[in-house]
Structure 1
């Protein structure tokens, strides 16, 4: 009886691990697309609305879902609270805090870090150029993420189940 319960638990755990990894492959393109659209909205707020950066980030964050919304809202909150941090430090802290909660990989986070070093530090036209560049980089990464999703999503589900079955066979 205990052995059967252990077998079932190992199978369930392996299957869940495989499905969690598959979900990560599925979340990455969605988050990249959402982040690119958020940067496009930010570009509109800055370019056409002449909205101050913290307020623009707050508006964009309100239109996005978690964890991307928190990543965009944290630097705006840091500036609005008057904690003394400059925008770049708040942006970097936000990426460090919320980056691991996303499905984004190192190239996307590096692109966001580069963007944070420009936003709030240069004139409006330069910021718009860098926002457009970051959007293009994220959209390029999104196509790669879609390829990875198509290639590895089913594979990770199957591997989770098969590795759990292998563990069960080795144990029994």
Structure 2
């Protein structure tokens, strides 16, 4: 009886691990799309609204879901006089704090870090060009993420179950 319960627990754990990995493949394209839309909104705030960067990041964070909401809000907070960090330092610090919560990879983080070096240090036109370039790079990453999702989401679910079954077979 105990062996059966143990076997079911192992198979269940393997299946849950597979479903968790499949969820990561499904969430990544959505988060990338949300990040692209946030950058496009930032571009609009800078070009048409003449909004200061901390205020723009705060407004954008209000329309996002976590973890991107927290990332943008924290970057805006780091730019406030309480912390007094530059735009680059505040965005990089927010990335350090919140990037692990996202399903995104290092390529997307590098795009954001490169963009942080330009925000607040160059004129409006240059910032808009860099934001558009970053959004374009993220669109390519989104396409790759959708391809990965199509390839690996279903496989991850099946593989989790099969690995759990394999462990049960090897143990018992």
Please list every run of 5 or more consecutive structure 2 residues that lacks an aligned counterpart in the other structure.
none
Q: CA deviation at 1:81?
A: 4.5
Residue aligning to 1:66: 66
Q: Distance in 2 between matches of 1:70 and 1:137?
A: 22
Residue aligning to 2:87: 87
Q: Distance in 1 between matches of 2:40 and 2:135?
A: 7
Q: Distance in 1 between matches of 2:85 and 2:34?
A: 27
Residue aligning to 2:13: 13
In the TM superposition, 1:101-116 aligns within 5 A as 101-116=101-116
What secondary structure is seen at the aligned counterpart in 1 of 2:65?
A: coil
Q: CA deviation at 1:82?
A: 2.3
Q: In 1, are the aligned partners of 2:18 and 2:158 still within 8 Å (CA)?
A: yes
Q: What TM-score results when the alignment is normalised by the length of structure 1?
A: 0.98
Deviates more, 1:72-81 or 1:25-34: 72-81
RMSD after superposition: 0.8
Residue aligning to 1:121: 121
Q: CA deviation at 1:73?
A: 1.2
Please list every run of 5 or more consecutive structure 1 residues that lacks an aligned counterpart in the other structure.
none
Following superposition, which runs of at least 4 residues in structure 1 exceed 4 angstroms of deviation? none
Residue aligning to 1:2: 2
Q: What TM-score results when the alignment is normalised by the length of structure 2?
A: 0.98
Q: In 1, are the aligned partners of 2:77 and 2:83 still within 8 Å (CA)?
A: no
